[in-house]
Amino acid sequence: MTAHFDPTMVKLTEQKPSQNTKTPEPANLAEILRLAGLRPTRQRLAIAALLLDGRHRHVTADSLTEEIVAAGLYVSSGTVYNTLNQFTHAGLLRRVVIHNEYSLFDTNTDHHHHFYEAENDQLVDIPNDDVVLAQLPNAPAGHEIKAVDVIIHIRHKTAPK
């Protein structure tokens, strides 16, 4: 066990889920990580238990770190950030780039689009079929279009004067 890892986190990864949650059992989480090409370390298992519980949601490294702390656990913020990137690279999460230096991580890896409300830093899913693109440009020579991700920036309406 490393110095930056709290022993209470082991308990989180060893617990069986209650019948009311969709959290995969630890053995399943370890298998999910292995199938994704990741070694199931205690930190990765603990983070996977929070993220791969069947809920579709959007997190930042900071919000996930806060969630870990609220659960009475400790994982360094660098480890959280690295793990989010590793999970994304392995296809377990999807990175949604809001602007140059700001991203959120989406637990829903199915293709879909988003509304983004900057006031509340909130990302809202839009089903893929709800966005209709009439025409896309041809990809440059030697390339093909892999995907189109639409982020529609929204704000609350102001009351008319």
Strands 151-154 and 112-117: parallel
**Is the pTM above the cut of 0.85?**
no
Burial state string for 90-104 with b = 16 or more CB within 10 A and e = fewer than 16: eebbbebebeeeebb
Quick check: 126 and 112 in contact, CB under 8 A?
Answer: yes
**What does the angle CA 77 – CA 70 – CA 99 come to, to the nearest 5 degrees?**
45
Write out residues in the chain with pLDDT < 50, as ranges: 1-21
**Residue found by looking up tokens 């209709």 in the block:** 132
Q: How far is CA 71 from CA 10, 38, 120, 132, 134, in A?
A: 12, 24, 23, 41, 46
pLDDT at res. 21: 42
Q: Where are the domains of the chain?
A: 8-99, 110-154
Q: How would you classify the pairing of strands 122-127 and 151-154?
A: unpaired
Q: What does the alpha-carbon distance between residue 27 and residue 44 come to, in Å, rounded to a whole number?
A: 13
What is the structure's pLDDT at 35? 95
CATH topology for the 8-99 domain: Arc Repressor Mutant, subunit A (1.10.10)
